[in-house]
């Protein structure tokens, strides 16, 4: 591929972002933000879908397809092995998985709130 200014700029930005998020605290903070974002989105989906009874099944179908699609995407990818015992996914894959976990956790919380 030809080295243009745009490709050099993109490569430099990607390298700096990878180096920036290599810090464990920054990585954990991105994963926590993904988890809390999943909780927020699930709360919003359940309240807007619950306003009108017509959207309940449609919202449940979209949430189910999203969570299953993310699970297929995450768990079928090959993992990077950074040391002998430490096997990691990429930051995007981990944050997407945490977003999915946040959605699932929030749906369980909503079910417990409605059941009591």
The count of structural domains within the chain is 1
pLDDT in tens, 53-81: 777 888 889 999 999 999 998 888 666 66
* % of residues, the chain, pLDDT over 90: 45
pLDDT in tens, 21-51: 888 898 899 999 999 999 999 999 888 877 7
28: domain range?
Answer: 23-115
| E strand or H helix that includes residue 88 | strand 87-88
Q: What is the mean pLDDT of residues 96-110?
A: 94
Would the pTM count as exceeding 0.85? no
- What's the rounded Cα separation, in Å, for the pair 17 and 94? 16
Q: Is residue 30 part of a domain?
A: yes
Q: Is residue 39 part of a domain?
A: yes
Q: Is residue 99 part of a domain?
A: yes
């Amino acid at each position: 591929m030809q080295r243009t200014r745009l490709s050099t700029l993109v490569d430099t930005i990607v390298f700096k972002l990878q180096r920036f998020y290599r810090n464990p605290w920054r990585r954990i903070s991105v994963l926590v933000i993904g988890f809390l974002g999943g909780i927020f989105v699930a709360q919003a989906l359940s309240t807007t879908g619950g306003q009108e009874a017509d959207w309940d099944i449609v919202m449940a179908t979209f949430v189910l397809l999203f969570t299953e699609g993310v699970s297929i995407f995450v768990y079928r990818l090959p993992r990077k092995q950074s040391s002998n015992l430490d096997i990691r996914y990429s930051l995007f894959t981990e944050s997407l998985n945490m977003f999915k976990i946040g959605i699932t956790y929030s749906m369980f919380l909503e079910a417990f709130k409605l059941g009591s």
